[in-house]
Structure formats: C-alpha cells, structure tokens
C-alpha cells in the first residue's frame, strides 16, 4: 500500500468534532523523493523506492553513493520501498507529500522502539523476584535463579529468558486513525502512540 516516511515530533492532544479530547502523535512527513521505480515487466513487481532525510556523503559507502549520483540526487538518511503507487506515472525525483493521507484514514505505523540498553530479567521479562529476604538471600532479590538442568541434559535450553539488551526492535502499530493533516507544514496527527523516540524516523502506510 502507498506510504511515506516521517519524523516523530512528539505527542499532544486535540479536540475532535464531538468535543472529545483525543491524544495524538505529531509526525512531520516532509516530502520524500522517489529514488527508483520498480516495474512489473522488469522487476517482477511494482513499487517505488523512497528516500527521506539528509545524510553526509562521507557517511555513505561508495557503491550506494554511486546510485544516488546516477539519479542526480543527494544521499538520504532512510530508504524504504512502498507498493501501491502507480509505477507507470511515478518518476525518479518526484516528491511524495503528506497529502496522500486524509482525515479519517486508517494507517499502520512502523518504527524502532526505544532502546533500553542491557537490562536484568525483572525489567526485561517481568520476573517477580524472590519476594522477600528469606532463605538467606540478602543480595539475590533480583536474580534470575537457576537456569540449567542436572546431569542430564547438562546444558541450558535455547530461548531461556535471561538478562540482555532490551528495546530497539521493529514495532508495527496497526489500525491507527488519522485525526488531522496539515499539508502546508507537512504534518500529520495520528490518534494514539507510535513506536520510537522523538526525532526517530517512522513509516506511515495506508491500509
């Protein structure tokens, strides 16, 4: 389905037509440029490759930079592929603006969740802990406890819930409603929360 890339600005609330206060996430979907066009007869499917944001040339590998120079475009921070556009009329360098959405549309938003760093089992997997200072455990209240078996099978099973890195995962929130679109400022307001921290890039895809 058609979509666009945008930057998460933050959350606020607006009044709808019924006078109810609705929490919304504000996303700045500045015009995204088409980098290349995939066509059915050549690539086996129809889609457009879209770029968003600016990136310095020194931070891009030479093969990728060569693709941008071939299309006479400056490097982009994020590149994504969207289906649902008319690949016959789409051209390299064309802009996709926020006005592809309108109020009342249902969309899905995809982004990276906030990174929490290395966390223990209580925060990462909601372990309950010992629950008291019994059995002489004066300093083991947040410990995971036993993780292995006895002499058989003498190993730790794969998938055991343990401490590790939490967050910064791909998260998709579906069936979000577009509350307001401001084309002149490239802003779109979506009901509810979307994944990612402020200033992170998200995908908005029409359902």
Q: Is the pLDDT of residue 99 over 80?
A: yes
| Residue 148 belongs to some domain of the structure | no
* 105 shares its domain with 190: yes
* 43 shares its domain with 87: yes
CA dihedral 22, 25, 30, 36 (to 10 degrees): -110
Residue bearing the bigger pLDDT, 23 or 152:
23
Report, as an integer, the average pLDDT of 134-153.
74
DSSP state of 64: H
Model confidence, pTM? 0.81
Report, as an integer, the average pLDDT of 11-27.
93
| Residue 202 contacts residue 110 (beta carbons within 8 Å) | yes
Residue bearing the bigger pLDDT, 25 or 207:
25
pLDDT value of position 201: 93
pLDDT value of position 22: 94
| Residue 145 belongs to some domain of the structure | no
**Token pair for 114:** 């906030």
* 89 shares its domain with 175: no
pLDDT value of position 1: 74
* CATH number, residue 20: 2.40.30.10
Averaged confidence pLDDT in the chain: 88
Residue bearing the bigger pLDDT, 140 or 100:
100
Comparing 48-52, 132-136, 168-172, 195-199, the range with the smallest average pLDDT is 132-136
Main-chain dihedrals φ then ψ at residue 80, nearest 5 degrees? -140, 160
């Amino acid at each position: 389905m058609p979509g666009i890339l945008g930057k998460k600005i933050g959350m606020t609330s607006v009044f709808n037509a019924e006078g109810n206060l609705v929490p919304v996430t504000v996303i700045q979907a500045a015009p995204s440029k088409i980098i290349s066009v995939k066509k059915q007869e050549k690539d086996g499917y129809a889609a457009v490759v879209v770029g968003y944001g600016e990136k310095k040339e020194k931070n891009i590998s030479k093969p990728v930079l060569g693709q941008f120079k071939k299309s006479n475009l400056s490097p982009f921070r994020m590149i994504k592929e969207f289906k649902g556009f008319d690949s016959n009329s789409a051209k390299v360098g064309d802009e996709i603006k926020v006005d592809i959405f309108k109020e009342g549309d249902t969309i899905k938003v995809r982004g990276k969740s906030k990174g929490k760093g290395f966390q223990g089992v209580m925060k990462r997997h909601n372990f309950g802990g010992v629950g008291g200072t019994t059995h002489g455990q004066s300093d083991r209240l947040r410990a995971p406890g036993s993780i292995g078996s006895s002499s058989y099978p003498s190993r730790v099973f794969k998938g055991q819930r343990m401490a590790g890195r939490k967050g910064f995962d791909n998260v998709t929130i579906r069936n979000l409603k577009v509350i307001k679109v401001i084309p002149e400022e490239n802003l779109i307001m979506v009901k509810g929360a979307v994944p990612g921290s402020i200033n992170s890039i998200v995908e908005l895809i029409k359902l």
